[in-house]
């Protein structure tokens, strides 16, 4: 069956909530993808920042296969060793106190919001607390995650959403201060805004929000779902700033392809928020997903993945800066580590993404006018050179 027929078959059975690109991927190897007709593509999207180790990285598949032969699920009514191991490694990497494993990033956001609300309720003795979120943000598609997503495009069709959410401007500390009141229980933000256009927080802003939260006993929630797990050259982007949250969410590259997320709490938040009966999940923390998490941390440590990102980031940034200097339509390059964006004006980004796919390069967009590059963390200089050659040809058209 050809790709056209495969696509038509999918459209018959799958709800059309995505405008998918006309390709059916069949397998991956290293940082390359292959469609069902055998064409190779250089992957600079990594499944939307998920496949940080690329495809079939040495040791990863073997770890999953070994766990399949043992146990894949038992529920949270019982303990399992992979969950304990993964939790311990996550706490070492994050320097936090307690972890709760979920099935996705959106579920991690839901848990973080509940923890913040429960913390405030425990402190004040009543409910009805508010959360400050950021304009231009994206936290997920569930009702709670949408409620703190600062983009009307995603929110409007599903109103009314969760109440008690107020929006400030990212990197504008005064706009956050103006919204704080006696009912505020948390401030939530992405350390690096992803879907909104690849905007890192400024040092001054993140430090200022941390001080504001401390002064008012408000919890700081940092969403590291996309920018975490080594993408910025640190396990979590906030570590580059030296500003620790009270609650952190992570997912995507946490399992490098296996669906898994987590929210992680410091001692203050963990000791006075969610108690038995307050939160739960049937699949979260199951042995298979946690075996993936544990193996990912093992590989990161063994093969010095963070060091590789740090060492190669200047080369990637210089290559992208070269494209920005060469073409007037590229008006800015911004990002951290292997989470980079090229701002495009005068040309539709969707057209560039489609042309790149035709030329064998997988890239994605962020917002309405940004090319997003979030490749596997194991790319080489040769991979960056190939990406630049392809983009150079397309931008020259």
- pLDDT tens, position by position, 135-194: 999 999 999 999 999 999 999 999 999 999 999 999 999 999 999 999 999 999 999 999
Give the closest residue to 184 by CA, choosing from 202, 167, 160: 167
Same fold, 3-57+304-395 and 71-302: no
The residues near 155 (Cβ < 8 Å, ≥ 6 apart) are: 146, 147, 149, 161
Sort residue 380 into left (φ over 0), alpha (ψ -120 to 50) or beta: beta
Q: Is the confidence at residue 301, as pLDDT, over 80?
A: yes
Average of pLDDT values for 88-101? 98
* 388 contacts 322 by C-beta, under 8 angstroms: yes
Using DSSP's 3-state secondary structure scheme, residue 205 falls into helix
> Tell me, what DSSP letter sits at residue 55?
B
Grade residue 103 by pLDDT with cuts at 50, 70 and 90. very high
Q: Is the whole model's pTM more than 0.85, yes or no?
A: yes
Interior CA angle at 306 toward 88 and 210, to 5°? 70
Average of pLDDT values for 296-312? 98
Looking at domain 3-57+304-395, its CATH class is alpha beta
Q: Is the confidence at residue 2, as pLDDT, over 90?
A: no
For 212-263, how does the pLDDT look when each residue is reduced to its tens digit (9 = 90+)? Answer: 999 999 999 999 999 999 999 999 999 999 999 999 999 999 999 999 999 9
Exposed e or buried b for every residue in 365-388, given b needs 16+ CB within 10 A?
A: bbbebbbbbbbbbbbeeebbebbb
The residues near 10 (Cβ < 8 Å, ≥ 6 apart) are: none
* 171 contacts 150 by C-beta, under 8 angstroms: no
Q: How many Cβ atoms sit within 10 Å of the Cβ of residue 171? A: 20
Tally of CA atoms within 13 A in the half-sphere of 21 that contains its CB: 19
Interior CA angle at 366 toward 233 and 292, to 5°? 50
Cα 9–chain centre separation: 30
Please name the CATH architecture into which domain 71-302 falls.
3-Layer(aba) Sandwich (3.40)
Domain boundaries, the chain: 3-57+304-395, 71-302
Q: What is residue 88's predicted lDDT score, i.e. its pLDDT?
A: 98
Sort residue 43 into left (φ over 0), alpha (ψ -120 to 50) or beta: beta
Element (H, E) at 241: helix 238-241
Q: N- to C-terminal Cα distance for the chain?
A: 34
């Amino acid at each position: 069956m050809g790709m056209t027929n495969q696509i038509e078959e999918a459209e018959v059975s799958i709800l059309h909530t995505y405008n998918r690109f006309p390709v059916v991927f069949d397998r991956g190897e290293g940082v390359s993808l292959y469609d069902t007709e055998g064409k190779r593509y250089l992957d600079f999207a990594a499944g939307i920042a998920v496949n940080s180790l690329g495809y079939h990285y040495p040791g990863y598949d073997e770890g999953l296969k070994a766990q399949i032969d043992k146990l894949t699920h038992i529920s949270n009514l019982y303990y399992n060793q992979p969950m304990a191991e993964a939790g311990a490694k996550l706490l070492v990497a994050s320097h936090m106190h307690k972890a709760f494993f979920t099935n996705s990033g959106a579920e991690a956001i839901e848990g973080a919001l509940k923890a913040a609300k429960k913390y405030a309720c425990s402190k004040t003795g009543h409910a009805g607390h508010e959360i400050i979120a950021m304009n231009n943000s994206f936290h997920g598609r569930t009702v709670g995650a949408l409620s703190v997503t600062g983009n009307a495009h995603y929110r409007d069709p599903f109103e009314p959403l969760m109440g008690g959410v107020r929006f400030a401007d990212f990197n504008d500390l005064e706009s956050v201060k103006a919204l704080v009141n006696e009912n505020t229980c948390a401030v939530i933000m992405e350390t690096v805004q992803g879907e909104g256009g690849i905007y890192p927080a400024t040092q001054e802003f993140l430090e200022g929000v941390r001080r504001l939260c401390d002064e008012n006993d408000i919890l700081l929630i940092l969403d590291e779902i996309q920018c975490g797990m080594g993408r910025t050259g640190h396990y979590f982007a906030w570590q580059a700033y030296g500003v620790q949250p009270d609650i952190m969410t992570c997912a995507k590259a946490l399992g490098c392809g296996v669906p898994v997320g987590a929210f992680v709490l410091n001692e203050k938040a963990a000791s006075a928020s969610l108690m038995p009966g307050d939160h739960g999940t049937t699949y979260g923390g199951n042995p298979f997903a946690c075996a993936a998490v544990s193996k990912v941390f093992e590989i990161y440590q063994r093969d010095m993945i963070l060091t590789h990102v740090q060492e190669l980031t200047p080369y990637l940034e210089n290559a992208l800066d070269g494209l920005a200097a060469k073409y007037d339509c590229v008006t800015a390059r911004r990002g951290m580590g292997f989470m980079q964006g090229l701002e495009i004006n005068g040309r539709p980004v969707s057209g560039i993404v489609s042309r790149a796919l035709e030329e064998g390069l997988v890239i994605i967009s962020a917002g309405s006018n940004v090319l997003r590059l979030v490749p596997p963390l194991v790319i080489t200089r040769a991979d960056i050179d190939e990406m630049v050659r392809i983009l150079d040809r397309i931008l020259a058209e």
